[in-house]
Amino acid sequence: MTDRTVGDIVAALEEAYPPNLAESWDAVGLICGDPAEKVSKVAFALDCTQAVADRAVELGADLLVVHHPLLLRGVSSVAANTPKGKVIHTLVRGGCALFAAHTNADSARPGVSDKLAELVGITPGRPIKVVEPNSTDLWGVHVPAAHAQEMLEKLFDAGAGTIGNYSHCSFAWDGSGGFTPEDGADPTDGVVGEHYSAKETRVQFVAPTKLRARLVSVLREVHPYEEPAFDVVTLEYTGDINTATGLGRVGELPEAMTLREFTQQVANALPVTEWGVRAAGDPEQMVKKVAVSSGSGDSFLGDVARLGVDVYVTSDLRHHPVDEHLRAGGPAVIDTAHWASEFPWTTQASEVVATAYPDVQTEIISLRTDPWTISAHANNETNETN
């Protein structure tokens, strides 16, 4: 047994896959286990199915690292006679903690889509969708001029107005504001039922997006009006797009090839499943610029069309979105099994742990957790559709 703990391994993984890159709906991090427990062996898998949990315990793993969170959707019980509860009980009784890196591992660099990009033959460049954990909001607030400075100072104290090494940054200009208090209003200025107008100042400042809720609370507390007039917009990413964190990746093949050839190249590169790999588009179309998104990626069909790629590789594509995408002139698409597009990430995650702690054993659980077990095609011509 090493001196490493579950907490040590979690720290290494969260450095590689920062939790603040996760989507707001996600549930990443340590799912069960004691951060203080010692770790000598870590196992890796895409999903924590019952078979995977059994295998992790059989291997003597002290920690199981997966991509898909076991408890992503709320449950009211983890009793041992429920599917998820049985998994939890198996791991706890076997002394194995469970950790998930999901959309944070998708957006990190390198992350899940970087591995997919490399496998299908492109150098991963820009993301399809930038996910910037340190994004910035631009605020605009209208306030009576006499109250502007006091309000700004309170907002600055709450974290607004910093740009690089400069603090208390703002811009202001004067104008005229107007409103009519309706029944039920308790106006600071003016009277109910009569239109009121007066000189006001508009102040603008920036603040980290993560502080938005806090700043709204401070603003409502210090602004003299019952209903403050303000607006907040998130600023576009202005860094190097080719190194930005985010979902999906775009890159180019060394040489153009037909869609038919590239589809076969993708099939040859990914783990084998009964689902296989299918494509939609002209088989003889030449493709070079490629977008990839591991896992379910049909929400990015519009984005890849705007990026001008020749083909988009992802998983879980549906009939109507693909049909409409192609009829709108979108790029060809290649549909892989969800498990196949993401399982290769387990190699990357295991390397993160092995590099951080060479004294900790790592092992990838190679059980295929793709749920599809049969693929059939007609063996005669009677079922052909004209």
Four-point Cα dihedral 279, 283, 286, 288, nearest 10? 20
Residue 68 labeled ligand binder: yes
Report which of 367, 384, 370, 323 is spatially closest to residue 54, judged by C-alpha positions: 367
Residue 102 labeled ligand binder: no
Q: Are 307 and 268 in contact (CB under 8 A)?
A: no
User: Helices 112-120 and 259-269 sit at what angle, rounded to 10 degrees?
Assistant: 120
Q: Which residues pair with 30 in a beta bridge?
A: 99
Q: Are 138 and 233 in contact (CB under 8 A)?
A: yes
DSSP 8-state symbol, 21? G
Report which of 355, 354, 340 is spatially closest to residue 47, judged by C-alpha positions: 340
Cα(273)–Cα(337) distance, integer angstroms? 7
Residue 338 labeled ligand binder: yes
- Sign of the CA dihedral running 156, 160, 164, 169: negative
Instruction: Name residue 301's amino acid.
Output: L
DSSP 8-state symbol, 193? T
E-assigned strand segments in 39-78 = 41-44, 63-66
Helix (H, G, I), strand (E, B) or coil at 1: coil
DSSP 8-state symbol, 300? G
Instruction: Name residue 195's amino acid.
Output: H
Going by the annotation, the residues of the binding site are: 67-68, 106, 338, 342
Going by the annotation, the residues of the binding site for a divalent metal cation are: 67-68, 106, 338, 342
